[in-house]
């Protein structure tokens, strides 16, 4: 946001924690030496790269974020069974469709999360976002009811995202 970013000791606290966790997972250990080395990396890498970051909206409600992630994981498993049944069934009966879903959220990060969620869940793949960021173009593998599908996407996935990012 501000043109001359001021030097800060801990520019991205969330990323620092993430870096430490990934380092420990990568080495598959929680020994003291790796915690020290990981903490050093987690402190220096954000300091060096803070200038390259685009300003992103903050997570206002982290608890809803966790609930959303768990819900999406459950949906992924259900969606996979649905797609597997559709693939194994006769492909003559499939009714593929392109639909345009109107989206209300404006920032890039929530739109990215929404598009990724749509790609991973029930029989839909996001293909394109319109230039003014008002429409998400989605390909559906087997469509039974267009309005119901759009309503599901908006209620189940977009509604929590607007709460999380408060936009």
Partner 1 sequence: MEFWIEVVVSAFLIFGGVFVFIGSLGLAKLPDFYTRLHAPTKATTLGMGSLLVASSVMITYQQGYLSLHELLITLFLLITAPVTAHMIAKTALHHKLHIIDRTTGKTSAKNARKRESSEEHSA
Round to whole Å and give the CA distance between 134 and 33: 49
Output 71 or 97, the one with its CB closest to partner 1: 97
State the minimum distance, in angstroms, from the CB of residue 154 to partner 1: 16
Token pair of 98 as six digits: 């392109």
State the minimum distance, in angstroms, from the CB of residue 7 to partner 1: 31
Residues lying near partner 1 in the complex (CB under 8 A):
22, 25-28, 76-77, 79-80, 83-84, 87-88, 91, 94-100, 115-117, 119-120, 123, 125-128, 130-131, 135, 137, 139, 141, 143, 146
| Exposure letters 26-63 (e unless 16+ CB within 10 A, then b) | eeeeeeeebeeebeeebeeebeeebeeeeeeeeeeeee
State the minimum distance, in angstroms, from the CB of residue 41 to partner 1: 16
Q: Coil, strand or helix: which one is 99?
A: strand
């Amino acid at each position: 946001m501000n043109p001359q970013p001021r030097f800060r000791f801990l520019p991205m606290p969330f990323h620092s924690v993430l870096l430490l966790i990934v380092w420990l997972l990568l080495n598959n250990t929680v020994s003291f030496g790796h915690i020290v080395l990981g903490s050093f990396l987690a402190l220096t890498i954000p300091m060096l790269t803070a200038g390259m970051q685009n300003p992103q909206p903050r997570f206002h409600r982290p608890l809803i974020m966790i609930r959303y992630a768990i819900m999406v994981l459950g949906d992924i498993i259900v969606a996979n069974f649905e797609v597997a049944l559709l693939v194994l069934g006769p492909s003559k009966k499939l009714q593929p469709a392109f639909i345009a879903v109107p989206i209300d959220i404006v920032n890039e990060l929530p739109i990215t999360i929404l598009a990724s969620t749509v790609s991973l869940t029930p029989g839909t793949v996001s293909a394109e976002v319109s230039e003014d960021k008002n429409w998400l173009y989605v390909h559906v593998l087997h469509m039974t009811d267009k309005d119901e599908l759009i309503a599901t996407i908006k209620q189940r996935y977009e509604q929590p995202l607007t709460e999380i990012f408060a936009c």
